[in-house]
Chains A and B, each alone.
Chain A
């Protein structure tokens, strides 16, 4: 499956990850599956790159991590913190504003052509 265009992905992983992990805790593999499912396969990442994003968010206090041993494998579960939830609200607001702006531009250009 083709990977999602990286140029369009700036800031999106943070938003998506915070949103999904605000509902329940997940580990990396589970999170990737959830992103694919929730986006209808329209967001497909090189799966290994999700971990630096998770670690960066954890470092900033937006996620908390917990290691668990499951079926002989170490899994690190992540969950959005209270600070992460505040950041999510701000990101969602930005996202809607920009998305509406881009939509408006595209609609106008389509009407003009």
Chain B
């Protein structure tokens, strides 16, 4: 008779919604406990195999331990208890809020910059953080969200439906924003515009098209699918 199947126990806990923190801790403590029981049995004169059998009998089997863990609903993770809220609703609202906040802050900053006297062109170091923030908000926020969502969902063995829904909503919503920014110069006070929306009509029908938006959607979704298939949380924490 060998040690308990720690990996099976941990996966059993995760699949039933137990928070990774508690699944990890339970296995860590049980392993240590098992080693102490075995050492004590060996000190009492038992053979290696007999000591292992005694330790296994004292600690309880995987099913008993799992049943006890699952009887504590407070040990379940928030994403597994509220997947709709965690993966779809809160991120969507947060993304909308982020864009409106960014818009508000940029408008406020832009107002003050454009009010500067003619000839007082902004220095590159002043423009850079604004550009970086805008680029991050428009292009990096959603891909980062998608990767984090996948990492969270896979580490918790969560049914992929709501994480996937959340990613699709976020990708479409996030890639629909566009902005143009003309910095104030000595000759002009500059201009700023930000718009939201899509047109899926081909260029021949509507004059221009949202190629950039389509690419954003395709690249983010493809990267998400690839990451979902490649990422194995169990490889990060071997048995």
Contact = CB atoms under 8 A, between A and B. Distances in A.
Contacts of A95: none
Given A29-B36, A56-B75, A51 B29 contact: yes
A32 B68 CA distance: 16
Interface residues of B, number: 22
A46 B74 contact: no
A52 interface: yes
B26 A52 contact: yes
A74 B34 CA distance: 12
B32 A75 contact: yes
B150 to A, nearest CB: 26
Given A29-B37, A76-B28, A48 B64 contact: yes
A29 B58 CA distance: 11
Interface in A6-29: 27-29
A60 B72 CA distance: 11
A28 B29 contact: yes
Contacts of A74: 28-29, 32
Contacts of B64: 46, 48-49
Given A51-B29, A52-B65, 14 more contacts: A27-B29, A29-B37, A47-B33, A47-B58, A47-B59, A48-B30, A48-B64, A48-B68, A52-B68, A53-B68, A53-B72, A56-B74, A73-B32, A74-B28
Interface of B: 22, 25-26, 28-30, 32-33, 35-37, 58-60, 64-65, 68-69, 71-72, 74-75
Interface of A: 27-29, 32, 46-49, 51-53, 55-56, 59-60, 73-76
